[in-house]
Structure 1
């Protein structure tokens, strides 16, 4: 007998992400909706983006799926909470009401909103980012995911990925994540908690 979660390539991070993809996919299928909404949250470097990309690449239902990353929405380095609210108001709420959502990408270099993107309410939606899972967004999600990883691993991955751009802002961003955890307790709102080494 074989399954995605039982095949190992010797890379513990890859194995954890493969198992998480399989587990979340099973929950999506169990929802039984044509356009389910998945909200993925977790601290910086935990593996949210990697999991979201894998999930979209191996989407368990027919047709296309939309992916919105909060990294494209946060209004700058102090914008974790504002980005979460903006995503809820412009993406998740319209999708839940059957309306087209429209969000504008944040241009990090210019410090302003840029081109607009539409979200089709008839298609499934995956939204991922730190701060994504709150009591309000949990009510709009069919499947909510918290991605957990040890602090040293997270920091190594995040700084390895974004290097000198992120390094000066690590503590500043981490403080906003702590505020999000204290205010919203996203772990308790998650349908599933996945762990990445």
Structure 2
């Protein structure tokens, strides 16, 4: 399922970019002046980005559904309450860190695409360089930007894990205490109800005996 969806996204994006490239080649003089290496990047880069982004999305959904299927209703409810408690206490900084950690592959793909596109555009305006030199230098710029993005997202993902662990420990203790309190209340209510029923039964028993006598 995950591979098929990713391949579908790859194929659909590739067909779309090829069609756009044909149209640009036909109607845009500037596009016709671009070297074949730059045109290849403009066609393949969005396709690879769509492949990674869709694969990440489907993989995340699959992992969550597989994990949730192994839980019973009580465990799902417990997990839902725990997640709500964690979300209510998160700051904007922590939510931003979690977003980057959850979408790091998409961010890396778009970062590389932006880097290679911006580099090609910047080098295209420079004179005195051949098309091959521009393509090689643009690739080096994009690789440097991507390496920086990889290190940054890896650090943010590690930080996100530490923040989540801290919140899980704190909210698990709070939630267990709340659930324990609910249990004590329910037990007290049940005991009080039993006492009332017993008292009512004892009070009605003599009246029934009097009627029969």
- Say which structure, 1 or 2, has more relative contact order (CA 8 Å, 6+ apart): 1
Name the one with the larger helix percent.
2
TM-score after normalising by structure 2: 0.24
TM-score after normalising by structure 1: 0.25
Name the one with the larger strand percent.
1
Which entry has the higher C-alpha Rg, 1 or 2? Answer: 2
